[in-house]
Structure 1
Amino acid sequence: MLKTIFLTALTLAIAIGGGAASVWLVVERDFEFGTVTIGNWTAYPKRGTPAADPYSKARFSREADLALGYAEGLVFTATRDASGALLRRECDYRVEGSLPPARFWTLSARDADGGFIAPDDSIPALHSYALLRQSDNTVATTVSRNPVPGNWLAVDGSGAFALVLTLYDTAVASSARIADVELPQVLREGCDG
């Protein structure tokens, strides 16, 4: 009798503990079903929508994020450069290339919690209305702790960060051919120390 109670309790403990651990692991990971990856940029088109998977909905609810709807836009995130190395604030990066058509877009640098990492006296994000374009209508922006001429996105501190490119009012968000879109490359130019 005692052996049966012990085995039942052990089975329940493993089942409940294993289930809770697996849910925690999936919710903590930066993975969602329906992820679109273009170069080193990643987007979750279904995030915050009724079509999202249950784990994405749980993560979205926990983070209390405000997602864009299908018709409103799409958010792309890059945590690695073109060579596959993690983005670090100690390094200088050049973001260059073409962008898909959008009524408005922003480019910002964020920390692991989603906060801006710009110095207090600088603008936390670049946007499409205040950006110098090259003659072929592509963009070239430097992401660095040190000021540079031209388009400059300032970062502050040290450690890893993510670049967040948000396209507002773009046909890309509702397109079935989202994987065919061209996005700019993130190229590392050098590092401080």
Structure 2
Amino acid sequence: MDTEASSYHHPSLAVGRVAVMGVLLFLCLRILSLMFPAVRATGDGPISGGRELVRVGWLSGCENAEELVGLFRLQDAPCQPGAVWTLQQLRDEMVLNKLLPNIVQLRPLYNEALVHCPVMLTVQQSNTETLLGWLCADVSGLYLANPAGQPLNAERWQRWSDGSWENVAAVASAP
């Protein structure tokens, strides 16, 4: 009789266990969402048109956004840029504005030693992809770096909301 009684589980215990597991799952998902917030464009106004400085920022710290870049306005929160681009869109924009040669491709690759440079600049030669350097961003703008991560020059590029790009390092050094 003792073995029968010990093997019997009351239905309310099972319901309680399911409830506890549900709460734990909710808490885990909540913690993960705080660590890796989801990317969403705010859409609070046009990114194109007018003349507003737009910072291009990496979204690699946001949930499911390794291959996305954000176009941030001054009022935009992290992981909530005014617009979101793919790396291909960024590449096309940079080629169109002659910031990159047409043969260069962008590939995401997070490197802890180069946290500001999560995008490889590569060129395809025959069946081999060759690393040319890195596309990096800091508070001053986008810049190109060599394979070791050192800036190629002092140029820092910022994008304006009207679609034009400006070398802000040249503006800063102008008399």
Common fold: TM-score over 0.5: no
Instruction: Give the TM-score, by structure 1 length.
Output: 0.30
Identify the structure with bigger relative contact order (alpha carbons < 8 Å, sequence gap 6+): 1
Structure with greater helix share of residues: 2
Instruction: Name the larger-Rg structure.
Output: 2
